[in-house]
Amino acid sequence: MGRLFGTDGIRGVANRELTPELAFRLGRAVAQVVAHRAGEDRPRVGIGRDTRASGEMLEAALAAGLASAGCDVELLGVVPTPAVAVLTPLLGLAAGAVISASHNPAEDNGIKFFGPDGYKLPDEDELAIEAICDDPSPNGPWPVGRGVGRIRRREDANERYIQFLMEKVPVDLSGFRLVVDCANGAAFQTTPEILRRLGAEVIALNVEPDGHNINVGCGSTHPEALQQAVLQYGAHAGLAHDGDADRLIAADAQGRLVDGDRILVIAAIHMAEQGLLTGNAVVATRYSNLGLTQALARRGIQVIAAEAGDRQVLAAMRERGLVLGGEQSGHVIFLQETTTGDGILTALKLLQVMRERETPLAELRDWMHEVPQHLINVRVARKDQLGSSPACQAAIRDAAARLGERGRVFVRASGTEPVVRILLEGEDPELLRVLGDDLAGVIRRELGDA
């Protein structure tokens, strides 16, 4: 079977790579490795999902696997990924699972797991789960009679999550007009509801999921409609999530985007002034714009560079005892409040800064000035051969040499898609474009055009 877990759980085309049979085996394996760890006879495990049509199929299979291994299953329904991270410890669950492929196309799906503390599972647990799934033997004996788990639907999951967020960030949003793009995904009910309860006037976009329109031309990966709507409605800000709502990309009143880098700068400076930025440092990734480091350095705030992925950001934060970190894509982690990237919490934190400083988002956005970047996603057939391809590595070195000390190039294979990501940064946008196109051509030729 090979390694199942990537950088953010298990991903694949639903019913092709990610089948009900695999979901069933995963349920049994998670029960053995995680849920029964505390020694309870009937540990409880929660399952949340996004709005993809395949989520219902995979939910049923995963729940059956867990129940067959003696776990009681609580179906949380359509909830944001960070809601499961919150609810797992809040409800005293032995583990939590999310069925979602985040920002990926609707035909994809994924499964990720949280431990009882609300953190994603460590590598050793994922390896143990994979070993059980790879074993052709039944791994039993399995319980019978009263030992078989029950499956029940929980109706209050989103409400419990909303209450949690309102307690963590009790900001008064009266007088704010906000446009929200929920990407026809997991937050299509949650984000508009919490913003309205906090007093905002809300214009909600892409809140009619049909199982197939998640992320299609909308949300944080396609924010053009959000930008236009902010201008159309004269909104104070726009807020866009991806399919599982662990990201936030914002727009100011002028329709200009506020990405994860700018949000980190805004949050870090505000927290530092309040004495809340532990270690006077934040964690970002190698994809973050050089402007982030420059903006925070002017305030005496250090930036720790982690490898790409919210998992790596979180690991660096915990290792150094820091409370704020994130990615340019809009994953932002406020570790004093929760254990993972949370797009709704991030939105509330951003709006709280606007309210407390009585400062429009357009002004906060300009705390950071971007260095020109050029990002290319190259779909390839053999992304795993990037590091072993002499031609690819030579092309990367050549691009770095041409940029010199005043720029950089960073190339990596995606952990969740058949894609190689190329990031170039420097002072000459035209040079970045030329170098990027040349490099993409070499990678496509050497690794196969998918």
Domain 10-155 maps to which CATH number in 3.40.50.1980, 3.10.129.10, 3.40.50.20, 3.40.120.10?
Answer: 3.40.120.10
**pLDDT value of residue 1:** 42
Fold match, 10-155 / 258-343+356-365: yes
Say which of 68, 100, 102, 220 is annotated catalytic. Answer: 102
Domain edges within the chain: 10-155, 160-256, 258-343+356-365, 373-447
Give the C-alpha distances (Å, rounded to integers) separating 434 from 251, 428, 431: 29, 10, 5
For the domain made up of 258-343+356-365, give the CATH fold: Alpha-D-Glucose-1,6-Bisphosphate; Chain A, domain 3 (3.40.120)
Where does 373-447 sit in CATH, by number?
A: 3.30.310.50
Examine the residue annotation and report whether 329 is marked as an active-site residue of this protein.
no
- Is domain 160-256 in CATH 3.40.120.10, yes or no? yes
**pLDDT value of residue 310:** 86
Per-residue pLDDT tens listing for the chain (450 residues) = 447 888 788 999 999 999 999 999 999 999 999 999 988 889 999 999 999 999 999 999 999 999 999 999 999 999 999 999 999 999 999 999 999 999 999 999 999 999 999 999 999 999 999 999 988 777 778 999 999 999 999 999 999 999 999 999 999 999 999 999 999 999 999 999 999 999 999 999 999 999 999 999 999 999 999 999 999 999 999 999 999 999 999 999 999 999 999 999 999 999 999 999 999 999 999 889 989 999 999 999 999 999 888 889 999 999 999 999 999 999 999 999 999 999 999 999 999 999 999 999 999 999 999 989 899 999 999 999 999 999 999 999 999 999 987 788 989 998 778 999 999 998 899 999 999 999 999 999 999 987
